[in-house]
Amino acid sequence: MSAFDSFALNGKVVLVTGASSGIGAHLARVAARAGARVVLAARRVERLAEVQRDIEFENGEALSVALDVTDRASVEAAFDAAEARFGVVDVVLNNAGIGNGQRVLEISEEDWRAMLSTNLDGVWRVAQVAAQRLSTAKRPGSIVNIASILGLRVGTGYSHYCAAKAGVVQLTKSLALELARYNIRVNGIAPGYFKTEMNDAYFDSEKGQAYIRDIVPMRRLGNLQELEGPFLLLASDAGAFMTGSVLAVDGGHLVGSL
Ligand code: NAI
């Protein structure tokens, strides 16, 4: 047995929300490489075809399902489809999110609701459905919530996002507390800045480049590969005694000098 065997996901069913792009698409491929059967979930199923093809090309197994995290019926239907094909979902990567910046004076009621509805309510809804099904089936499980360093500190133009992500941090700890007795672990990852569809225009700009150079201690963006270790640690038995933790993966951004 190698020291890394406990990081494997062999035999596990892993559901990834927002799997069509960015962090979700990357970690879905990683889960498949680690041995999991992967349920790729996104609002537009056709956008999942490429990820599914990549996984199957490497002899992995994946199922693409439609999922809108803001809609209870859609979440239940996605878990039903996952169970019909692979069985109960053991691991959830609660990744779906939106991230448009807006100044506090300009945020409308609708903007606020959309942010909270996706980035906080959606995480709660998916986690709750996963936990209900795991506890009914009397199976252990792991839920990994993608928070953000903006859930732990604040940034200009992101009050609604910061509030939602801070909610995800506290929700992660609360769920960990209540679900530990069912052997369902709940942890979070607080990424710093990784270049994805959500922010690529900004980080390509002069202003974005200067921000990274001047503010992030490591003076660079993260590579998606740098989320693999933290994700596998929390998802797999390697993290069997971890619950309620939120790991910052941010190039030192949170410990930036004041
Ligand atoms: P992304 O925009 O590439 O991915 C977000 C995914 O969520 C997309 O596939 C989108 O379609 C999906 N999504 C949005 N609303 C949804 C809904 N109602 N139902 C189902 N899916 C929905 O961006 P990225 O960067 O990969 O974001 C993933 C997560 O990482 C988000 O929660 C984001 O807040 C978080 N994050 C990202 C950081 C970064 O620097 N990229 C930093 C910190 C956190």
Indicate which atom in ligand 1 lies nearest the CA of residue 194: 40
Per the listing, tokens 């190039």 go with 251
| pLDDT at res. 195 | 87
Q: How far is the CA of 239 from the centre of ligand 1 (A)?
A: 24
DSSP character at residue 221:
P
Query: Which sign does the torsion angle of CA 94, 191, 205, 200 carry?
Result: negative
Give the ligand 1 atom nearest the CA of 43.
20
Domains of the chain, residue spans: 3-249
For residue 258, the model assigns a pLDDT of: 87
Residue 149 Cα: closest atom of ligand 1: 43
Q: Is the CB of 142 under 6 A from ligand 1?
A: no
The mean pLDDT of the chain is 97
What are the backbone angles phi and psi of residue 80, rounded to the nearest 5°?
-60, -45
Which segments of the chain have a pLDDT < 70? 1
Alpha-carbon dihedral of residues 71, 156, 248, 207, nearest 10 degrees? 110
The catalytically annotated residue of 158, 161, 182, 193 is 161
pLDDT of residue 89: 99
Structural element, H or E, at residue 184? strand 184-191
pTM over 0.95: yes
Ligand 1 atom 19: the closest Cα is on which residue?
A: 68
User: Angle, to 10 degrees, between the axis of helix 49-57 and the axis of helix 22-33?
Assistant: 20
For residue 127, the number of C-alpha atoms closer than 13 Å in the C-beta half-sphere is 28
At 197 the pLDDT is 81
Pick from 198, 195, 152: nearest CA to 172? 152
Look up residue 125 and give its two tokens: 């809804």
95 CB near ligand 1 (under 6 Å): yes
Give pLDDT, residue 120: 99
Active site residue 202: no
**Whole-number pLDDT of residue 139:** 98
Q: If you ran DSSP here, which 8-state letter would residue 145 be given?
A: E
194 lines ligand 1 (CB under 6 A): yes
Architecture in CATH of 3-249: 3-Layer(aba) Sandwich (3.40)
pLDDT of residue 2: 79
Q: Is the CB of 27 under 6 A from ligand 1?
A: no
pLDDT of residue 196: 86
